[in-house]
Structure 1
Amino acid sequence: MKPETLNFFDKVYEVARQIPYGRVTSYGSIANYLGAKRSSRMVGYAMNCSHGKDVPAHRVVNRIGLLTGKHHFEGTNLMQQLLESEGIIIIDNQIQEFESVFWDPSLSSKAQ
């Protein structure tokens, strides 16, 4: 399937699959990368619908590193457990040293 024929959710999933292990990005960064700057909420909806699509949705958080999507994962702390298993430190549902683990798709040649 050509990239221009993919729907928005599929484009979001394509970008999310590029997030490196041990790194995170934000809903807004994905939206901005896709040229839909004001569509961070739609990126969130896409993450909510990503179950069974081999998308590392646990690596997508809000713009300040809060695990705002954690209630969409099975179990009470699955999102946090997945991130912690990748070496990310979380305290009170917030990623610590967020800037050091943040991945910006617009700065990565891999997200093409």
Structure 2
Amino acid sequence: MGPSPGDLLTIDGRASVQFAGDRALTFRVVSVPDLPTYHGWIWLSGYVLDHRGLATAKREVYVQLAGLRPATAPEAPRAGRQSPPTRPYALPGDQGDRGTVGQGARVPARADAG
């Protein structure tokens, strides 16, 4: 039995010489097209995943069934290792006016405002 949609595979030189060495892929199967192939070979459609498990490219690959290996799921990001949420460009009172806005004081225009 071959791969099915949702499978996570390592595609390397065992599956096809074009994926040997540093050209190996972690691949999430989306579909298995019913296209004619040589005995023992298969077409797969899916996404190449990076080390975090994020899709980086959609691909169709032609590989040997015997060379396909299940891949381990990428490690989920841990709490505390995520980047902090971003802030809006400027908040009221956040332009060096030291609380004088709203008290009739004029705030100078920023050079990069436009």
Specify if TM > 0.5. no
Question: Between Structure 1 and Structure 2, which shows a larger proportion of strand residues?
Answer: 2
Question: Between Structure 1 and Structure 2, which shows a larger proportion of helix residues?
Answer: 1
What TM-score results when the alignment is normalised by the length of structure 2? 0.25
Higher RCO, 1 or 2 (CA under 8 Å, sep at least 6)?
A: 1
